[in-house]
């Protein structure tokens, strides 16, 4: 996780624009591509994800599975993706763009990975990973903030 944040800091300096990890809410919004039920059912996830039954226990070059409607590849399966939020229970009240708990020892990861069961690769699935964890099933994507 620290390496991902350092990468974002370096990109921010080199690109002269804010680069950061997405919040969990931003990740899910991008994964769903603006559609409430996109990638929530087994049929759509099966066609989009590298997961335990089709990955041959490894990552694959990006773009071999179809993109979501916004042109984003490999949001499901492939590697679980770090989010900037600390992992914890959400408030029971409806929220818009929740940011999670203020601190913790685990960060949110989303999307499942090549070793996950198909059910763990849906847009609604959230998981956690220790901040210092390093393994071949967790990665990250970044946001470049427009106009910054």
d(CA 20, CA 84) in angstroms, rounded, equals 8
| 47-72 pLDDT per residue, tens | 899 999 999 999 999 999 999 999 99
| 105-126 pLDDT per residue, tens | 999 999 999 999 998 998 888 9
Give the per-residue pLDDT at 136: 82
Q: pTM score, two decimals?
A: 0.89
Domains and CATH numbers, the chain: 2-144 (3.90.1580.10)
d(CA 11, CA 142) in angstroms, rounded, equals 10
pLDDT at 14 over 70: yes
Mean pLDDT of 25-54: 86
As a whole-number percent, the residues of the chain with pLDDT over 90 amount to 60
Supply the DSSP string of 115-147, one letter for each residue: TS-GGGGSTT-EEEEETT---TTEE---EE-TT
């Amino acid at each position: 996780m620290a390496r991902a944040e350092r990468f974002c800091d370096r990109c921010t300096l080199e690109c002269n624009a804010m680069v950061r990890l997405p919040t969990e809410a931003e990740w899910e919004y991008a994964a769903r591509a603006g559609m409430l039920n996109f990638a929530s059912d087994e049929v759509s996830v099966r066609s989009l994800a590298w997961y335990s039954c089709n990955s041959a226990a490894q990552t694959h070059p990006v773009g071999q599975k179809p993109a979501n409607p916004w042109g984003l590849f490999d949001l499901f399966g492939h590697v679980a993706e770090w989010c900037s939020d600390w992992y914890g229970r959400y408030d029971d009240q409806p929220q818009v763009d929740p940011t999670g708990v203020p601190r913790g020892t685990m960060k949110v990861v989303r999307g499942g990975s090549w070793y996950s069961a198909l059910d763990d690769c849906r847009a609604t699935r959230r998981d956690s990973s220790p901040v210092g964890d390093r393994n071949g099933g967790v990665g990250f994507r970044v946001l470049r903030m427009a106009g910054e």
